[in-house]
Amino acid sequence: MKYTEFEIISQYFQRNQKKDCNEIKGIGDDSALIKIPRNNVLAISTDTLVECTHFLRNISPQDLAYKTVAVNLSDLAAMGAVPKWTTLSITMPKSDSLWLEKFSTSFFNILNKYNVRLIGGDTNCGPLSITLSVFGLLKKNNALLRSNAKIGDLIYVTGTLGESAAGLFVLKRKLLIKNLNIRNYLIKKHLNPIPRVLEGIALGKIANSAIDISDGLISDLGHILNNSQCGANINLNKIPISKILTNYFKSKHYLDWALNIGEDYELCFTISKKNIKKLNLMKKNFLINFTCIGHVTPIEQGFNLFYNKKKIIFKKKGFNHFN
């Protein structure tokens, strides 16, 4: 069945959602209207996912919807913001009702999970591309700015790194894995990353700076160091790598995936030593690990990686759209 633009909006995107007292107007007018609660600031972030650049052509509508929301929420998490609202700009080659049903159901599933409301968007015909803007609230002092790392801070990452990259290589048939469970596990890590929303909000109160790892640890931590005018020493033996990767692959591979490929959407943050007790208490509320991988140094000392106590020469790679 084919729908017009307006039928697509009302049929698939104008759904009943939980009420929100700050929302004066949602979908259906020329703009949405939102009231910002006193003493809060609005965190705003946008990410676009384009076919063949950000996702493979054969991705399911469910996985595409999930990933679009997850990577956007990850940006708010890296700021320490509570996600509240989103707008969806969707461009697609045709109005395919089955595709739209699957996409929108998965989209609202993840939105509901994180209490986020869809308040507007745009619907167009063209090559498949999805742009989401997300809006969150936070107290100004809790913002995890990239520019706020301090010399002496400890550097941490959440969860484990490298599995999403392995999953991507499996999907691209560059990595052959016979064990079906492991294959599916790695693919899931790539397609369904978990945004560290609650972790980011909790870190907002105690950490100094943060970033989400989308382009590989070296590139993303590099942004914090550049913005904060600092250096760092990182112990590669401390990088959290799952048993699945250490059992099945060589360290030169999984470290490359963790350091240079990314898409793990874990958080990398820096925290002052005086707040480590608070971090250790906070950690108990979460199932994932928080691992210290190094510390922030004066800028003159540079960005140094150590492996088995030896300094490593490395090339800064990371993902760059125009490379």
Asked if residue 122 binds Mg ion (CB under 5 A), the reply is yes
Asked if residue 88 binds ligand ADP (CB under 6 A), the reply is yes
Residues in the chain: 323
Q: How many Å apart are CA 258 and CA 293, to the nearest integer?
A: 13
Size of the site for Mg ion (CB under 5 A): 1
Select the residue interacting with ligand ADP from 61, 121, 204, 294 (CB under 6 A). Answer: 121
- 46 is an annotated ligand-binding site residue: yes
In the list ligand ADP, Mg ion, none, the entry touching 111 (Cβ below 5 to 8 angstroms by class) is none
- 212 is an annotated ligand-binding site residue: yes
Q: In degrees to the nearest 10, what's the CA dihedral of 74, 79, 83, 85? A: -100
Residue in 140, 129, 314 with CA at minimum distance from that of residue 219: 314
Q: How many Å apart are CA 149 and CA 296, to the nearest integer?
A: 7
237: amino acid identity, one letter: N
Select the residue interacting with ligand ADP from 92, 118, 241, 255 (CB under 6 A). Answer: 118
DSSP strands (E only) in the chain: 23-25, 33-34, 41-50, 82-92, 117-125, 129-138, 154-158, 209-212, 230-235, 267-271, 290-298, 303-307, 310-312
Stretch that binds ligand ADP, among 28-36, 43-51, 153-161, 189-197 (CB under 6 A): 28-36
Asked if residue 37 binds ligand ADP (CB under 6 A), the reply is no
Q: Residue 26 or 231: which CB sits closer to ligand ADP?
A: 26
In the list Mg ion, ligand ADP, none, the entry touching 290 (Cβ below 5 to 8 angstroms by class) is none
In the list Mg ion, ligand ADP, none, the entry touching 298 (Cβ below 5 to 8 angstroms by class) is none
Select the residue interacting with ligand ADP from 4, 28, 37, 56 (CB under 6 A). Answer: 28
- 38 is an annotated ligand-binding site residue: no
Pair 121, 13: CB distance under 8 Å: yes
- 146 is an annotated ligand-binding site residue: yes
Stretch that binds Mg ion, among 92-100, 114-122, 208-216, 256-264 (CB under 5 A): 114-122
Asked if residue 101 binds ligand ADP (CB under 6 A), the reply is no
How many degrees, rounded to 5, is the angle at CA 27 between CA 129 and CA 69?
40
User: Which spans in 161-260 are helix H?
Assistant: 163-171, 180-191, 197-204, 217-228, 243-248, 251-256
- 160 is an annotated ligand-binding site residue: no
Q: How many Å apart are CA 197 and CA 134, to the nearest integer?
A: 13
Asked if residue 83 binds ligand ADP (CB under 6 A), the reply is no
Stretch that binds Mg ion, among 2-10, 51-59, 110-118, 121-129 (CB under 5 A): 121-129
Stretch that binds ligand ADP, among 121-129, 180-188, 202-210, 297-305 (CB under 6 A): 121-129
Q: How many Å apart are CA 211 and CA 223, to the nearest integer?
A: 8
- 63 is an annotated ligand-binding site residue: no
Pair 259, 319: CB distance under 8 Å: no
193: amino acid identity, one letter: P
Q: Which residues bind ligand ADP (CB under 6 A)?
A: 9, 13, 27-30, 88, 90, 118, 120-123
Residue stretches of the annotated binding site for substrate: 54, 263, 319
Q: Which residues bind Mg ion (CB under 5 A)?
A: 122
